[in-house]
Amino acid sequence: MNRDQDPLLDAALRLTDGQAVDWGQVSQDLEGSRQGFVERLRQIERIARVFSFDDEVSPAVPSGVLPDRPVLFTWGQLWVLELLGEGSYGEVYRAFDTRLEREVALKLLREDSSAVPEDLVAEARRLAQLRHPHIVTVFGVDAHDGRVGVWFERLEGRDLAVVLREEGPMEVARAFDIVLAISDAVGAAHSAGWIHGDLKAANVVLESSGRPVLVYFGSGHAGQLAGATPV
């Protein structure tokens, strides 16, 4: 069977040649039992876009560091792998940064969100200005495909609210260590002129290593604190 007789083969050959594919037409021309192959080819197309940059800008990712699951979709330089959580304004995904060659967490505003995109950008800037072992590290903020997002370090663990709900009251020594670490993080933010604005257990992640990390500065703002210089 040649490509003129098989729309799926034609689509695959077009991808190989770097040509555009009318996926709507391909779906219409295929039998129902073969529809699943369309999404697989579209996934290949999305992955190919990641490598469409100049080699000096975005080198191919070595096979040894490739993610362990299929790509849901691509967003800029990121391969989005898994939905980790969602709220009223946005979604948080596990993603793979093809330039840093590491897993990250990606927070994307919902397409139908009433949130102001500039607010997410402002949150990313606030976090990026803070350097502290107990404050989540931001890697970047951008907009692609009509959606604004920020990506940051991937934290392996549970938030403090979940830990307390599942495990109950913790030992005093452990609680003291967490409070001390987060207090130090808040102090660093205050020294930089920022007030967190929403300090609660759900915004503290306890990594599997035991490290507590302060996340989410969406309600934060520049504060006129004693001795502080707003940035």
- Please confirm, yes or no, whether 112 is among the known catalytic residues: no
Selected catalytic residue, list 55, 142, 159, 198: 198
- Per DSSP bridges, beta strands 73-75 and 78-86 are antiparallel
SS (H, E, C) 111-177: CCCCCCHHHHHHHHHHHHCCCCCCECCEEEEEEECCEEEEEEECCCEEEHHHHHHHHCCCCHHHHHH
Quick one: 72 exposed, middle or buried, by C-beta within 10 A (0-12, 13-18, 19+)?
A: middle
- Tell me how far apart the alpha carbons of residues 152 and 107 are, in angstroms, rounded to a whole number: 8
**What are the distances in angstroms from CA 156 to CA 43, 96, 130?**
27, 15, 21
- How many Å apart are CA 105 and CA 92, to the nearest integer? 7
Catalytic site residues? Answer: 198
